[in-house]
Structure formats: C-alpha cells, structure tokens
Amino acid sequence: MTRFRSSDRPAALCWRPPSRSHALFGAVAGVLVGFALLGPAMAQEAAPNPAPAPAATPAGAGEWRHGLSLMGEPKYPADFTRFDYVNPDAPKAGLLRLSVDGTFDSLNDIIPRGTPAAGLQLIYDTLMSSAYDEVATEYGLIAESVRYPADFSSVTYKLRPEAKWHDGQPITAEDVVWSFEQLTKNNPRQAYYYSHVKGAAVTGEREVTFTFDQAGNRELPQIVGQIRVMPKHWWTGTDASGKPRDISQGTLDVPLGSGPYKVKQVQPGRSVSFERVPDYWAASLPVNVGTNNFAEQRYEYFRDSTVELEAFKGDQYDFRVETSAKDWATAYNFPAVKEGRVVLEEFPDRASGSMQAFIPNLRREKFQDQRVRRALNLALDFDGMNRTLFFGQYKRTQSYFQNTELASSGLPQGLELEILESVKDKIPASVFTAPYANPEGWSEGLRRGNLREAANLLKQAGYEVKGGKLVNAKGEPFTMEILLSNPAFERVALFYKPSLERLGITVNVRQVDLSQYINRLRARDYDMIISGWGQSLSPGNEQRDFWGSSAADREGSGNYAGIKDPGVDALIEKVIYATSREELVAATRALDRVLLAHDYVVPSWNYPNSRTARWNRFSHPEKLPQFSYGFPDIWWWDAEKAAKTGAAR
C-alpha cells in the first residue's frame, strides 16, 4: 500500500522510505516537488455550508479503534502519549534549508498537470498518521477514532472536535467527503488507487463513512485514512481578485491548510519557505509530539545537479541525500568535511525495497517479444559499469522487492509454490524450474558470450544484421531512444549504448528538460526510460497501478513498462486479498518471481543505505526508529552545534 505522489516527476530524493504511511502528496520515493507563492496566504472568510443529512451507518460497523494495522494489533495503546523514538523536549527553533532539482509552476498538486511545488505536505493533515517503528500501522490525526465491520466492506472515521483550518474554521466531515471526491475526480491515478471505494458520505456529527464495492480487502479501510483533507470552503470560494477558485486547474494562489506549517515566502520557480504554525491545533497529539521541530523549512531550487552539489559545499543548503556513487567517493573531501562542520553519514534502509531499471515500453511492438528484452539485459555490462562509473559501490538488482523478505529466491516452495500452482496456466513454466538470474559479466569472456547469446535471441525473434544495422523481416532498422531528464543518468546510458550498438541497434540518448520528460512520460512517448518503483513492506492496491493490465494504457499510471499479463493480474489480486502476513509474503514472492521471469525490464543497481551529507547544525534522537532515519520529521536545530559550525548563509 505505497502511497502515491500526486506528480509524475521521477523519484530522486526521498526523505522517508516509500511505505504505506508515506505522505500521499509531495513524498516518494520521490523528488521534492517545489512550491510557488505570490504573497502571504489569505484566509477566505465564508459562511459555513449547511451540512447534508447524514447517511445511514452500515450495520455491524465494528468497535471504535484508535489505530489501524495490517500487521496485527498496533504497537501503541489507545492511551499512548508519544512515539518511543522521538525527543519530546526537542527545541522548536532554527532554519532547515533543503534542495530541489528543477522548477515549479503550481501550488496545486492534486492534478496531474504542471509541476507542483515541494513541501505542500507540510501544510495539510490526513485522517491518520504513521509510526516509523511499525509497518503498515497508522494512528489518528484528524480522526480521533475509526471503526470497520468484520468483512472490511466499509470504514467510518470520527473527526476530532478540535481539528481546524489555519483560518480557524473547523475541519468537517463534509471537507473529508469533498476532498475524496475532488482527488478521485481530478487525478486519474488517485481514481484508480481508490477505484474500489464506492463513495464517501457524512454519517453523523463529525463522522464520515467510506463504502467499498467488495468485501475482504483488508487494506481499503486503511488507505482511505491517507487521504489529504482539503478545505472545501476555501477552494469553492473566490481569490483576492474575486475570481472563483478551481481545484482542477494549476494555480499560484497560496492554499489554505491545517497542518504544522504554512507558507511564509516564495520566489516563484526558485525557492519557497514554510514557517511553523505557533497555534497548530494538533501539536500536542501523540502522533506529533517531538516532531515538526524546525521554525522554518526552506526549499531552494537548482536546475543543474553539478550546481546543486557546489551550492551544498558553499553552505547554501543544509542536508543532501547523495545518489551519485562517483560524487560520494570523490566530491566530499572539501575543508568543511575535514573540519567536522559537514557530517557524512549513511543510514540503513530497512523499510522498503525497490526496482530501478532500464524500462522498455512494451506498448511498442519491438519490445513485445521477450527474447528481445532478454537480449537487452544480456547487452548490459553491469560489472564494467559498476567498476568504471560507480567505484564498485553497487550490487545488481535481482528483485522488484530488493533487500526485503518479500524478494523471491531459489526455487518456490511451501505456500509460494501453492500460489504459483493455482495460476500455472497463466505464468511461465520456468518459474518452477529455474530461479531468476541476471547475466554475469565479470570477465571479458563472459561479456562476449553474453553478446553472442543476445545476438542469437534477436535472430530467433526475426532480426538480422545487414550493413551493420539490426533490421526486422521488413528491413526496418531496430532503433531505440533512451529518454532522460536527469543528467546524472546520461553517463550510464552512454556506457550502455556501445554494447547495444554492437548488436546492430541504433541508439539515441536524449536528454530533455523536466517538463518535456513529464509530458512524454504521461503520453507514453518513449522507447526506454531509466526509472523504477519503490515498494513498502506491505504491498497492496498500488501493485495494480505498477503492473496491472488496466493501468497499462491509463494516463498517469505507474505501469511505465506497459505490462498486460493475466498471470501478473491474478497474482496481484492474491497479494491484495492476502489474509495473513505469511500469505502476503508468499504471494508477493510469487508476483516478484513471475515479473522477473518475463524480463520486462533490465535491472540496474541498488545500494542498501541512504548516503547523506549535512552541515553540522542538527541533532536527532540517539536511537532512531527501525524503519526510517526520520529526517526531517524528528530531527531538530542544535544551537550548540550551529555555533561551532557557523551561521547559515
């Protein structure tokens, strides 16, 4: 149940691991997508709308609970006062400066158009909030309690009476219903993610009920609690010029929120800052104690990754997640590091698995033959790439759920085997006889052998080399464009290119700006991209979006490869409807095994830790939570360290 970002922007920086409790907007596993403001937020004074007559509450709605978990009972009891891993006495002070690549043109990130701004999640609240020391578990934020029937056919949330917007108006059940309707109306990806939610209705004072079109889906009651709640009275009002607002359009009008921060200042396309709300209504709730500690958070935008790195060295922002192995090995020997004013630290990533890969577009006929796709994998000299470009830091990715218990390995057995047997007529027979393996290429002999095998597979697929060019039976050349938006991937694609050309494939590596990349991604106008999928430890409905047939041709979906396969579809349903942790793990391993067996992508590399660099002005709890290093949520400004490091510029 990985929460989706609202934007299609490629993931490059993730402050917390992709998980069921990831912020639905402005998160994943992803690039921080900036904010644009024209002036200070203006509270819209409006008469409250009359509440509709409450709908009937479903019979047998269950007992009220303080939290939800897909892993059994929540760790924390109903009377808990804070999470174990926070510092309840953390000072509320200081400026945190973060970097973002690219630019932005909108403050509305629920629509899949334009480039929304980073940090929007800071100004909003959700019904529920997650813990960093549990998997797939959430506790009440806007909601004070939740209940659902034994068959999971609906869920009812009761809102806290003290919940309010920054303009002082209460957060109502009608706001929740309206937010759900607008999210699913204006964002196709959200509509798909919540496609089994028949509707939302006000069912009592401060109560909202979501009903589902099916029973037995354990995650549906929880994922609706992740919905960002937005103020209906503000969005249906008028702006400062008297013009009606339209949530279906991009805007630079500063939105009203209810969260721990509000917008302070914006330089459109260049930076945006948020200031902590001094009278934030939820500051003392157990889920918020020891969090949201910075007085101000600022996002600085950079259009070039080299400039961005140099800006960090020049103390223009505070914290950096380093995604380049080369830079990690060579770029952090400047004086501030040697003097201890910049701290380099790696944090283990225990909460997520991922598949980063060269992804061919199966919507194009030339990639529909599995032999062609396997040939593309055989052509990748990963060992040479790792040695030459990455200083030997990476390992080859072997699973869509890499480095987690969900990854398949060896031959299937036990419950996983039973699940595969139940769909054996829809999946490759090889999953029962041979574990997946990427080609080995640590010697020149192996690399030559891989290319010979690749050439043979292409021949079997109906291609031959004429005049040094690979052509099909019609004499049409096999051409391939690798589409990029991140300059850091250019040297990777250029390293791959000669091996493909030795097979007769004509390769063009094309670098475009972010807006062009997003437009082409949405239009499925590409041969191959370098991207990936982040996974939580508790996968669910999002698997349909990643690999499901119904998502393949849907604009804005995460099915970048264009996978349409009945066996994959069947296994996705087994993941979603798993009734125990054991069954979920087995079903996910089966899905992983079948995805790998189809050679849908050319897996690239992985690194088990997050590599970070920071100016030494911050502290964090001595014992960090198991599933996140918690930045920036549970960190704080350390005045003593800041005095030694020097004031931020």
State the helix-helix crossing angle for 414-422 and 566-576, rounded to 10 degrees: 130
Q: What does the pLDDT read at residue 615? A: 98
Q: What does the pLDDT read at residue 275? A: 97
Asked if pLDDT for residue 622 goes beyond 70, the answer is yes
CA–CA gap between residue 553 and residue 573 (Å, rounded): 19
Asked if pLDDT for residue 87 goes beyond 90, the answer is yes
Confidence of residue 32 (pLDDT cuts 50, 70, 90): very low
Query: Could you tell me the two tokens for 510?
Result: 């094309």
CA–CA gap between residue 173 and residue 50 (Å, rounded): 12
> Which domains does the chain carry?
353-606 (3.10.105.10)
Q: What does the pLDDT read at residue 556? A: 82
Q: What does the pLDDT read at residue 15? A: 34
* 473-518 pLDDT tens trace: 999 999 999 999 988 899 999 999 999 999 999 999 999 998 899 8
Q: Give the distance, in angstroms, between the CA of residue 464 and the centroid of all CA atoms in the same chain.
A: 41
Single pTM value for the model: 0.79
Query: Could you tell me the two tokens for 577?
Result: 């409807």
Asked if pLDDT for residue 459 goes beyond 80, the answer is yes
DSSP-based three-state secondary structure for 426: helix
Confidence of residue 43 (pLDDT cuts 50, 70, 90): very low
CA–CA gap between residue 509 and residue 515 (Å, rounded): 17
The helix (run of H) or strand (run of E) holding residue 342 is: strand 342-348
Q: What is the mean pLDDT of residues 59-84?
A: 90
> Pick the residue with more confidence: 639 or 488?
639
Q: What is the mean pLDDT of residues 347-367?
A: 92
Asked if pLDDT for residue 588 goes beyond 60, the answer is yes
Asked if pLDDT for residue 544 goes beyond 70, the answer is yes
Lowest mean pLDDT among 56-65, 74-83, 266-275, 432-441: 56-65
Q: What does the pLDDT read at residue 1? A: 57
The helix (run of H) or strand (run of E) holding residue 69 is: strand 67-69
Q: What is the mean pLDDT of residues 357-369?
A: 98
* 388-398 pLDDT tens trace: 999 999 999 99
CA–CA gap between residue 138 and residue 76 (Å, rounded): 10
Confidence of residue 360 (pLDDT cuts 50, 70, 90): very high
Q: What does the pLDDT read at residue 110? A: 87
> Pick the residue with more confidence: 38 or 269?
269
End-to-end CA distance of the chain: 41
Q: What is the mean pLDDT of residues 223-246?
A: 96
**375: which DSSP letter?**
H
* 252-263 pLDDT tens trace: 899 999 999 999
| Share of residues in the chain with pLDDT > 90 (%) | 78
Phi–psi pair at 488, nearest 5 degrees = -65, -25
Query: Are the C-beta atoms of 103 and 269 separated by less than 8 Å?
Result: yes
Asked if pLDDT for residue 294 goes beyond 50, the answer is yes
Q: What does the pLDDT read at residue 649? A: 66
Question: Within a 10 A sphere around the Cβ of 316, how many other Cβ atoms?
Answer: 16
Phi–psi pair at 484, nearest 5 degrees = -130, 150
Adjacent-strand bridge partners of 610: 347
- Looking at every residue in the chain, the average pLDDT score rounds to 89
* 157-174 pLDDT tens trace: 999 999 999 999 999 999
| Share of residues in the chain with pLDDT > 70 (%) | 90
Confidence of residue 109 (pLDDT cuts 50, 70, 90): confident
Confidence of residue 50 (pLDDT cuts 50, 70, 90): very low
Token pair 């929460």 is found at: 3
CA–CA gap between residue 446 and residue 457 (Å, rounded): 16
Confidence of residue 33 (pLDDT cuts 50, 70, 90): very low
Q: What does the pLDDT read at residue 493? A: 98
